Structure 1
Amino acid sequence: MKKSITICAAVCAGLVLASCGSSKESAYRKAYEKAQAQENTTVIEQQTTEQVVAPVVERPVTDNRTMDNNDNVAVRSEKVQLVSGAGIKGFGVVVGSFGLKANAENLQSRIPGSQIVFNPSNNMYRVVATTSDSKAEAVQSRNNLRSQYPDAWLLYSK
């Protein structure tokens, strides 16, 4: 009787162990196949997103800047009205642009001989430090003023 109980227990243990091994293998196989499927979908998504390329479109400059090809110095052309000062000639060196007239007057008080002009198209007050009829003189003046006003630029008044 002891022998039959031992044999029965051994057979039951063998069945239990045999069934556990096959389920582990199938679980691993299912997990592997699921991971492969996810990897394939991410690769396909990456390929579709990488293939979309936007074309490069060049747009013309519309901020009234012009370039003189002789000396390659940018000049902004604007129609301005004199607010205060002696008067503006053809070219001016702008050292400040303000939306409020009081701010422009504050800067003008610190720069002797400067003028304030108003651009009605964008409602900006420009502080013009120096003016000249020659572009070369205006460029030289702008270069001298850039030590104090690094954003100084040239204005051609229409």
Structure 2
Amino acid sequence: MRLRKILFVLAVSLFWLGGCALHPFSAVKPGMTREEVIGRMGPPGAVVSIPQGTRLQYSGQPTGQFSFMVDLDASGRVLSVRQVLNARDFARIEPGKWTRDDVLREFGRPTLVDRVASWPGDILTYRWYHLQDLFYWVYLDSNQVVQRAHPGMEFVNAPNERD
């Protein structure tokens, strides 16, 4: 049992470290048509407008830790493909400027939309991975404007778990 667990952790580590070439979205290349992308990847979870054209959103939320954005130009050809649940992209969020619509356009659907007594608006939660399982919380005020955003640890596999 322990050997299987070690092999699984090793395989997952190699996937994340060795990367994107192992992920099915590495097959999506600039210049491909919208139809080719959908033929390979299936229908997107959402389609949103962006200044350059259209964005196809492929989100692994609520249980996955990825969200791929396939940006298409006005003619429907791929401009770029990127996994946006990462520290660099989260750092682009501007409290006081970004709205709920901006967050959903840039990151796709969240894992969870929650409310707590100590905060006046919704809290969007994203699951992501950077060396460990993490959450990213985006706090919206009652006007749907981001007021704060920050990462935190996800304790799904707590230290008390046994083999």
TM-score, normalising length: structure 2: 0.21
Q: Normalized per residue, which structure has more strand?
A: 2
TM-score, normalising length: structure 1: 0.22
